[in-house]
Structure 1
Amino acid sequence: MLVKVLPYLNNRYFLTGLGFLIWISFFDRNDFITTWTYSKKLKTVQKEKLHYEEGIKLHKAQLQDLHSSKENLEKYAREQYNLKKENEDVFLIVEK
């Protein structure tokens, strides 16, 4: 096995290429580990972006619904902020 590899180790082009590949793979600023880490971060950020875009769509739809009619606005205010009219009692039932 060593006899087959020995001629390649004497070839300066092979050694230069091997050194270049090792340098690019491990010691360069854009080595494999850094590239892999950036790829993982990119996937995570893209998932977060998708999550926030879905939330924006939902909130835009809710906002449009609130602007469409006064009844929807009143319903939202009563449900979310526990608002009430004058001379009206509101009983909140809290489930445990």
Structure 2
Amino acid sequence: MASPKNKYLKPFKNIFILILVVFAVWMLFFDANSWLIHHELNTEIEDLENEKDYYKKEIAKDKKDLKKISSEEGLERFAREEYYMKRENEEIYIIEYEDSLKTKKDE
């Protein structure tokens, strides 16, 4: 009577099945083109494509902003809002609200 151990090892006594198993294990894990490396590379490609989409959106936004300030009025508005520039004989008042002021407990 065959022991249960021999029942599971019987297919591995065939040299062709043994070679096929060794070949499959080699291709999945150890080869330069293994499944693990392909999985890593596919993940990296996906990350890079997401990053590419993000930068394309940022470029579109920056182009829109550049188009806004390319005109004389846009440039003046930008200079006034961002750098608080003013014309000659003009005064600028900056109004700050309580919730925008820094207090000692905020620092």
When normalised by structure 2's length, the TM-score is 0.72
Measured in 2, the distance between the counterparts of 1:75 and 1:81 equals 10
Measured in 2, the distance between the counterparts of 1:4 and 1:82 equals 86
Task: Give 1:55's aligned residue.
Answer: 58
Task: Give 2:35's aligned residue.
Answer: 32
What is the aligned residue count?
95
- Secondary structure of 1:90's aligned partner: coil
Unaligned runs of 5+ in 1: none
Shift of the alpha carbon at 1:3? 5.5
Structure holding more helix per residue? 1
Measured in 2, the distance between the counterparts of 1:89 and 1:40 equals 57
Are 1:80 and 2:82 counterparts? yes
**Deviation per CA, 1:12-71, whole angstroms, max 9, x where unpaired?**
22111111110011111222222222222211111111011001011111212222x311
- Secondary structure of 1:54's aligned partner: helix
Measured in 2, the distance between the counterparts of 1:55 and 1:82 equals 26
Equivalent runs, 1:1-16 vs 2, <5 Å: 5-16=8-19
Identity of aligned residues (%): 29
Higher-Rg member (1/2): 2
Unaligned runs of 5+ in 2: 102-107
Measured in 1, the distance between the counterparts of 2:36 and 2:22 equals 18
When normalised by structure 1's length, the TM-score is 0.78
Task: Give 1:45's aligned residue.
Answer: 48
